[in-house]
Amino acid sequence: MPRKNMKKILVTGATGQIGSELTIELRNRYGKDNVIAAGHKRKPGGKLLDSGPFEHIDVTEKENIAKIVKKYDIDTIYHLAAVLSAVGEENPQLAWRVNMDGLYNILEVAREHGLAKVFWPSSIAVFGLKAPRVNTPQDAVLIPRTVYGVTKVAGELLCNYYYSRFGLDVRSVRYPGVISSETPPGGGTTDYAVEMFYEAIKKKHYVCFVKEDTVLPMMYMPDCMKAAIDLMEADALKINHHTSYNVTAMSFSAGELTAEIKKYIPDFKCEYKPDFRQRIADSWPMSIDDSVARKEWGWRPSYDLASMTKDMIEKLSKRFAESKL
């Protein structure tokens, strides 16, 4: 049921992995006409177009964003548009332009138009080899190896600056790898964890681009959306970090994920052929300490490796079976 005191929300990157599901969730909560989806290059899927307004926005063009903010009287932005780690290493200039200019433009438009709140996702990519790789704490050294990580560190500092200098209520979490069944991710290092499910169901065979013993922190999409919405709904007095919060749900190796999938698809075979993304994975935390988020605004994930795998297999198997009919 739409609430009283309605928000008007803009979601950038709405055609991406997180955006495509978060937009629908926000529309269910706040009313379909109160959540404007915005995409750039990827074609929007039917669900996104049928369930509410859609606009084309290039986040590197500030006037483009300002026009849509004025048109719909937006008061809240979920700014998800970004270039991820692997594509960022192939094209660092593009990563800088989209991630930094994009965030700067969003914050400026938010400041100029007096918006109430901005959500912006940071990532475990902010950490590098100088941070502890096990149970990485909230306040660890941030010297990332990738340009994506550099844009996330700079972005966190910029968000914090807009909060302290202009009073803009910017909130952020450092997402681990996100696993989901609706829209595949594109261009990230943790993408293997999603690809493995698709290929296991379709071909019973997957060539994984990181080593079998590579361990990274991960999160299932329902928890990913919960983290964003819970943080945005939290009482402002509880939010003491305006850089970004560590959040996590599970940590597993590529081999452990293979073994879990094999419980449902026993003849699934995974080969391991590491490529340039191994070097990125090796510079990231293996597990995350998210106790600060738990304490300050009550962060609690619901899914672990077993329950996430069961749900992913059920959802994808159903979808593939239906599309074959």
Residues that bind ligand AKB (CB under 6 A): 84-85, 123-125, 148, 175, 177, 188-190
Query: Distance between the two ends of the chain, CA-based, in angstroms?
Result: 35
- CA dist., res. 148 & res. 95, Å (int): 6
Q: Shortest Cβ distance from residue 267 to ligand AKB (Å)?
A: 29
DSSP β-ladder status, 215-220 and 250-253: antiparallel
SS3 content of the chain, % helix, strand, coil (to 5): 45, 15, 35
Identity of the residue, 151 or 258, whose beta carbon is nearer to ligand AKB in the bound complex:
151
CB of 84 to ligand AKB, least distance (A): 4
DSSP-assigned letter for residue 3 = P
Which residue of the chain is nearest ligand AKB when measured via CB? 188
| Contact in structure between 77 and 110 (CB atoms under 8 Å) | yes
> Is residue 223 within 8 Å of 178, Cβ to Cβ?
no
Residues with Cβ within 8 Å of residue 101, at least 6 apart in sequence:
59, 60
Are the beta carbons of 303 and 249 closer than 8 angstroms? yes
C-beta closer to ligand AKB: residue 11 or 35:
11
By C-beta, is 123 or 309 nearer to ligand AKB? 123
Residue whose structure tokens are 């177009």: 49
Shortest spacing between CB 66 and ligand AKB, in angstroms: 28
Answer yes or no: 148 catalytic. Answer: yes
Strands across the sheet containing 54-56: 54-56, 35-39, 9-12, 76-79, 117-119, 169-171
Q: How far is the CB of 217 from ligand AKB (least distance, A)?
A: 8
| Cβ-based neighbours of 131, under 8 Å, separated by 6 or more | 140, 141, 142, 143, 285
Tokens 């988020």 label which residue?
293
**Rounded CA gap, 50 and 53, in Å?**
8
Contact in structure between 27 and 45 (CB atoms under 8 Å): no
Q: Out of 78, 148, 192, 303, pick the active-site residue.
A: 148
Q: Which is nearer to ligand AKB, 8 or 277 (CB)?
A: 277
Tokens of 116: 């109430």
**Which residue, 86 or 305, has its beta carbon nearer to ligand AKB?**
86
Question: With respect to ligand AKB, which residue has the nearer C-beta, 39 or 177?
Answer: 177
* Residues catalogued as catalytic: 148
